[in-house]
Amino acid sequence: DNTFETSFGHRRNTNSSISDMSFSSEMDSMSPMSSSLNSICPADVRDTEVQGSIQFALTYIQKLGEFQIFVVLCRGLAVADPKKNRTDYVKCSLLPDKTKLGKKKTSVKKKTLSPTYNEVLGFKIPMEVLRIQHLNITVSHKDTFGRSSFLGEVDLDLSVWDFSNTQINEFPLKAKVGEVQIWVKDCKNLLPVRGSMINPFVTVLPDMSSKSRQKTRVVKRTVNPMFNHTMVYEGFRLDDLREICVEITVWDQDHLKNYYIGGLRLGLGTRSYEVDVVWMDSTAHEVNLWNRMLKSNAEWVEEVLPLR
C-alpha cells in the first residue's frame, strides 16, 4: 500500500516528496513515547589522500536498453598500504536509484598504482530514467581482510551528458562526497493506535526523492521493538547536510494499510537552500543531535529522542 494514513487525519502518498508532508500543530507537543537510538556519522575522513585519474567511455545501446561503462584504466593512484600487495577495483553506481539497479564492479588488479581493466559494466535502464541519474565511479583498494579504502571518485550528472560522445575520456579522481549512516536501534513504549499490540517498522526519508526511502523490518506484536538496522545514504556534501532534513517515522503495519505512530525530523531547523519550507521544523533536541553529527569527524553519535 503506497499510501500511509497518519494519526492526524491526513494521508501521505509515499511516492511524493518530503515537502508534501506537513505536520499539524499537534506535532508541536511531545508524546510520551521514546524513539529509537539514532546514530549518524558523516563520511570517513580517514581514507587515503586522493590522487591520479581514470579513463572510461560511456554509451547507451538502444536495442538492449542498456547503459554501458567501458572502464579502461587508472593512472597514478595513491598508495593505500605501502607494506602489502595492492588490490584495486572500480565500482560504478547510478544515483539516487542504487537499490534497484545495484552496483557494478570490475575485477581487482594487484601490485600496481596504474591498473588496466578494459572491462564493460552495464545497467539495464530506460534512457528517460537514465537522464535523471548521476553516475558515480569510485576507485577503491581492498586489503587482505576485505576492508576497502577509498582512492577517489568521479561524479557525472547524466542530465547534461552528451551521449553521442562515446570516446574514451580521462577524468581526475576527486575526494568523495559524504555518507550518512543511520543506525535505528529500538523504540520504547510505543502508543498503540489500534488494539493493544502493534506491528511496528521505521522508515527514513533523507531528501526530496521518495526513491531514497528505506525502512526496517516489521517487528510483530510489540510496543518495544528492537530493530538494530543500519541505513546508509551516499552522495552528500557537507554543505548539503546543512540544508536537508532526515525524516524518521514509525508505523504500525496492518493488512490493508499502515498507521502512523510518530516521527522525528533531524536537521538544523532553518531554511533549506534559502527557501522557507514547512518540513524544516526540527526541535531543539533534534537540532542538537544533527549538530553533533556534523562535528563528529566520522564518529558515531547516539541519542534517545521522543517521537512527536
Segment 179-208, tens digit of pLDDT: 788 889 899 999 888 877 789 989 888 755
Out of 120-134, 142-156, 266-280, the most confident range is 120-134
* Range with lowest mean pLDDT among 84-93, 248-257, 295-304: 84-93
* Range with lowest mean pLDDT among 14-28, 47-61, 282-296: 14-28
pLDDT in tens, 67-112: 999 999 999 998 877 665 566 889 888 876 544 677 899 999 988 8
Please tell us whether the domain made up of 178-295 is placed in CATH 2.60.40.150: yes
Domain residue ranges of the chain, discontinuous segments joined by +: 53-172, 178-295
| pLDDT at residue 245 is higher than 80 | yes
DSSP 145: T
Q: What is the pLDDT of residue 119?
A: 96
* Confidence grade of residue 10 (pLDDT, cut at 50, 70, 90): very low
**Residue 167 neighbours by CB distance under 10 Å:** 8
Q: What is the pLDDT of residue 58?
A: 97
Examine domains 53-172 and 178-295 and report if their fold is the same.
yes
DSSP track, 178-226: EEEEEEEEE-BS---SSSS---EEEEEE-SS-GGG-EE-----S-SS-E
- Distance in angstroms (rounded) separating the CA atoms of residues 296 and 298: 6
| pLDDT at residue 36 is higher than 50 | no
User: Which cell goes with 51?
Assistant: 590522487
Average pLDDT on 25-44 reads 42
DSSP 126: -
Q: How does the average pLDDT of the chain come out, rounded?
A: 79
* Confidence grade of residue 224 (pLDDT, cut at 50, 70, 90): very high
Q: What is the pLDDT of residue 175?
A: 82
Strand partners, 161: none
Query: In angstroms, what CA-CA distances link 108 with 31, 77, 113, 148, 149?
Result: 52, 14, 12, 12, 13
pLDDT greater at residue 140 or residue 68? 68
Architecture of domain 53-172: Sandwich (2.60)
